[in-house]
Amino acid sequence: MELAVIPESGIPESASAVDASVTSWIEANQSYYRTIGFKPPWCAYLCLEHGEVVGTCAFKGAPKEGVVEIAYATHPAMEGRGYATRMALQLIRIARTTAPDVRIIAQTLPELNASAQVLEKCGFTQSRISTDDEVGAVWEWELMK
């Protein structure tokens, strides 16, 4: 599995086939960059397996006040194969390598779902209920050191 940075414009050169859902992921992240800035490694990535896009993952911006949030999504045709867990672990590795003391958080819908299971596998603990501007109430998770 390889992570390819989603650039400020265009698509990563290493991505072979890009369908409509992948194009929407790329465009949404590039739009988000215009709001928060493009600051690698605190950016978005396509997750590639042999050049094929299997998902996307991202930091929701550079760390603020010592905290960084991660997010990930698996292409629907690739769900249930462990890619989300591997993406989350890669983001954790990048964060720990770049800023060893940063607190890493994530948010999920307030229910035990596949994303919550991914976070539990990666060592996160559900820490509080928060509010997301787009979906409302969410569970906030924090990686325990």
Model confidence pLDDT, tens digit, residues 85-142: 999 999 999 999 999 999 999 999 999 999 999 999 999 999 999 999 888 999 999 9
Distances (CA, A) of 85 to 49, 51, 65, 74, 137: 14, 19, 26, 10, 23
Question: How confident is the model at residue 79, as a pLDDT?
Answer: 93
The answer to which of 5-14, 40-49, 111-120 has the lowest mean pLDDT is 5-14
Give the mean pLDDT of 46-54: 91
Cβ atoms of residues 45 and 54 within 8 Å: no
The pLDDT score that the predictor gives to residue 77 is 87
Q: How far apart are the first and last CA of the chain?
A: 25
Summarised one tens digit per residue, pLDDT across range 53-94 is 999 999 999 999 999 999 999 998 899 999 999 999 999 999
With residue 68 as reference, give the H or E element that holds it: strand 67-74
Q: Which CATH superfamily is domain 2-103 in?
A: Gcn5-related N-acetyltransferase (GNAT) (3.40.630.30)
> What pLDDT is recorded for position 69?
97
pTM (two decimals)? 0.93
Residue type, 91: L
Name residue 67's beta-bridge partners.
Answer: 64, 103
What CA–CA distances, in Å, run from 101 to 68, 82, 90?
A: 11, 27, 16
Q: Which residues contact 104 (CB under 8 A, 6 or more apart)?
A: 67, 68, 69, 70, 91, 92, 95, 124, 142, 143
